[in-house]
DNA sequence: CTATGTAAACAAC
DNA sequence: GTTGTTTACATAG
């Protein structure tokens, strides 16, 4: 326990906001329900003259806000809620100013902690939103990078420092504690984005702009690291990119859990690799290759899914799902365990919640790969938050040091400081992990993920 | 041992 | 060449 606390403190980005109100206050529950998203709300997204959020907003045409698509995404609701509340009501922007000099630091404004606090109970509501209505943001008709107007850019670093829509005139450096780990920074970046979603390039750009990790111009190491983190940290999930830009990969979005609870250490999502120096490091080369191959397989699988989805998308513009492939319950089991999970996972990872085989023993055995036409709308109602059992009282959350009472899920005394607790209530998707039975054991097991 | 960072193999685009 | 996944290794704490 001391541990948990310690950890969360440590990850806590900035400080200690008075834990607040909202989360514990029953009334908070209603807020989201009454909330009705509109473009207006959106514009509040960031008051304080937040910069590129504004631009981002443009990316979400009003029409989408009214969409009747039943998809269960809730980003908007969340955004709106968290921002409005945190900014306008609960926390005046000024409250978070860590650096007086830069009154408009977007990062601070979007402070995760606040959101975290505010959001924490909203999870259930997410589903509500999801179910019946309007809100859903996944369908941004088009995503326009706030950073580049010329799509050609991307990886071409013609480093001209900034010509971003709004620079607040300030900044650049020092805005952020550059000491923060990648995961945290990415988190920040995403927190700033509408719908907490960004494409890789923009994340790069954000890094260039707000951090110094990207200092090293001609080295892609930092980019690699970013990608690595995106891939490995459960706080980030992929969502399809709408149309046009779709070819350049996914968009990355913060998981609702992440929004709520913050980013957890990336390591926890990594393989347990006992890999001690002694145990096994002797034939690194082949090993390396093996790993590469493995990644490759995953990539391929992922791509397959994507491809399929894309096809569906094009056929059904309005209904494409932006579910991270791996989270899609319709995800084809045939491929769920295409390869044995890493030898390293074996012990405690029957299923790694995050990227793979969430539904092992699952039923569907449908023909895969070729049923486009318009098949899998099924996945539509699935949403990420339902599945990640993102560990709660677990250590390592970047977010707020919620009091113990805070979380709805933090009920259990902590089986072991390390055990991510998963809200079963979150519902819905049960997975019959092929582990024989143990319906109860499941939740720990199943969500355990890479954790160790 | 854990959390991070980094390099790198590979696959699919 | 970019994006994404995954493993390996290094190192600070």
Task: Report pLDDT digits (tens) over A157-170.
Answer: 333 333 333 333 33
pLDDT score at A379: 33
Taking the CA of residue A289 and the C1' sugar atom of nucleotide C1, their distance in angstroms comes to: 21
> Is strand C less than 7 A from the beta carbon of A200?
yes
Do the strands A251-254 and A197-199 form a parallel or antiparallel pair, or are they unpaired? antiparallel
**Given the structure tokens 């720990």, which residue do they identify?**
A444
Give the residue with minimal CA–C1' separation from B7: A221
Give the span between the Cα atoms of A294 and A189, in whole angstroms.
29
Q: Note the maximum CA span of chain A.
A: 60
- Cβ-based neighbour number of residue A332 at 10 Å: 22
Q: Are A191 and A53 in contact (CB under 8 A)?
A: no
Which nucleotides in chain C lie less than 7 Å from some protein C-beta? 1-10
> Is strand C less than 7 A from the beta carbon of A277?
yes
Q: Which parts of the protein come within 7 Å of strand B, by CB position?
A: A 7, 11, 180-184, 213, 219, 221-222, 224-225, 227-229, 247, 265-268, 270, 276, 288-289, 291-293, 295-297, 299-300, 303-304, 306-307, 395-396, 418, 452
Handedness of CA A10, A12, A15, A18 (dihedral sign): negative
- In A 8-47, which Cβ lie closer than 7 Å to strand C? none
Q: Among A338, A312, A339, A309, which Cα is nearest to A324's?
A: A309
- The answer for A247, left when phi > 0, alpha when psi is -120 to 50, beta otherwise, is alpha
Taking the CA of residue A268 and the C1' sugar atom of nucleotide B3, their distance in angstroms comes to: 9
Taking the CA of residue A371 and the C1' sugar atom of nucleotide C3, their distance in angstroms comes to: 25
Q: Which of A16-25, A134-143, A174-183, A306-315 has the lowest mean pLDDT?
A: A16-25
Q: Which of A132-136, A155-159, A202-206, A306-310 has the lowest mean pLDDT?
A: A132-136
Q: Which structure tokens are listed for A83?
A: 């921002």
Taking the CA of residue A298 and the C1' sugar atom of nucleotide C5, their distance in angstroms comes to: 6
Give the residue with minimal CA–C1' separation from B2: A267
- In A 321-350, which Cβ lie closer than 7 Å to strand C? 341-342, 344-345
Which nucleotides in chain B lie less than 7 Å from some protein C-beta? 1-13
> Is strand C less than 7 A from the beta carbon of A299?
yes
Give the residue with minimal CA–C1' separation from C1: A155
What 3-state class would DSSP assign to A253? Answer: strand
- Helical H runs in A27-84? 30-34, 39-44, 51-58, 62-66, 75-83
Which residues sit opposite A253 in a β-bridge? A197, A237
Q: Which structure tokens are listed for A378?
A: 């099924």
Full-model pTM: 0.46
Q: What confidence tens digit (pLDDT) does each residue in A290-330 have? A: 555 555 555 555 545 545 554 444 433 333 333 333 333 33
Which residues sit opposite A254 in a β-bridge? A236
Overall average pLDDT of the A177-182 stretch = 78
pLDDT score at A268: 67
- The answer for A450, left when phi > 0, alpha when psi is -120 to 50, beta otherwise, is alpha
Overall average pLDDT of the A49-60 stretch = 34
Give the residue with minimal CA–C1' separation from B12: A300
CATH architecture of residue range(s) A182-267: Orthogonal Bundle (1.10)
Taking the CA of residue A48 and the C1' sugar atom of nucleotide C6, their distance in angstroms comes to: 41
> Is strand C less than 7 A from the beta carbon of A201?
yes
Work out the pLDDT band at A137, boundaries 50, 70, 90: very low
Q: Which structure tokens are listed for A228?
A: 């690595």
- Cβ-based neighbour number of residue A274 at 10 Å: 12
> Is strand C less than 7 A from the beta carbon of A155?
yes
């Amino acid at each position: 326990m001391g541990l948990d606390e310690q950890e969360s403190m440590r990850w806590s980005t900035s400080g200690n906001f008075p834990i607040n109100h909202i989360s514990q206050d029953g009334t908070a529950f209603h807020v989201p329900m009454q909330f009705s998203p509109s473009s207006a709300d959106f514009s509040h997204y960031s008051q304080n003259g937040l910069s590129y959020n504004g631009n981002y907003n443009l990316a979400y045409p009003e029409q989408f806000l009214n969409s009747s698509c039943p998809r269960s995404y809730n980003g908007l609701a969340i955004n709106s809620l968290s921002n409005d509340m945190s900014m306008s009501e609960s926390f005046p922007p000024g409250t978070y100013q860590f650096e007086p000099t830069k009154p408009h630091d977007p990062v601070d404004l979007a402070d995760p902690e606040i959101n975290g606090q505010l959001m924490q109970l909203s999870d259930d509501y997410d589903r509500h939103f999801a179910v019946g209505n309007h809100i859903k943001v996944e369908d941004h008709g088009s995503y326009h990078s706030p950073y580049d107007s010329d799509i050609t850019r991307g990886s071409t670093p013609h480093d001209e420092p900034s010509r971003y829509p709004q620079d607040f005139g300030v900044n650049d450096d020092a805005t952020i504690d550059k000491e923060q780990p990648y995961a945290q920074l990415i988190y920040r970046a995403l927190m700033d984005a509408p719908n907490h979603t960004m494409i890789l390039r923009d994340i790069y750009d954000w890094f260039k702009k707000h951090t110094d990790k990207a200092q090293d111009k001609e080295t892609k190491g930092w980019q690699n690291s970013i990608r690595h983190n995106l891939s490995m940290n459960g706080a980030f999930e992929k969502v399809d990119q709408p149309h046009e830009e779709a070819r350049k990969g996914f968009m990355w979005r913060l998981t609702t859990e992440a929004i709520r609870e913050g980013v957890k250490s990336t390591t926890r999502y990594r393989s347990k690799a006992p890999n001690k120096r002694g145990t096994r490091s002797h034939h690194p080369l082949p090993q390396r290759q093996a790993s590469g191959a493995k990644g490759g397989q995953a990539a391929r699988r992922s791509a397959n899914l994507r491809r399929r989805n894309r096809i569906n998308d094009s056929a059904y513009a309005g209904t494409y799902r932006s579910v991270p492939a791996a989270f899609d319950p319709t995800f084809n089991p045939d491929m769920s365990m295409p390869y044995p999970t890493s030898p390293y996972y074996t012990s405690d990872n029957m299923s790694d919640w995050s990227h793979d085989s969430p539904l092992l023993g699952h039923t569907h055995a449908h023909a895969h790969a070729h049923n486009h036409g318009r098949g899998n709308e099924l996945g539509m109602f699935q949403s990420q938050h339902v599945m990640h059992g993102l560990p709660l009282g677990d250590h390592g959350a970047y977010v707020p040091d919620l009091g113990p009472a805070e979380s709805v899920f933090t009920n259990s005394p902590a089986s072991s400081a390390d055990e991510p607790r998963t809200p079963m209530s979150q519902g819905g998707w049960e997975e019959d992990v092929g582990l024989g039975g143990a319906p109860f054991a499941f939740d720990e097991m199943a969500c355990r993920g890479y954790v160790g």
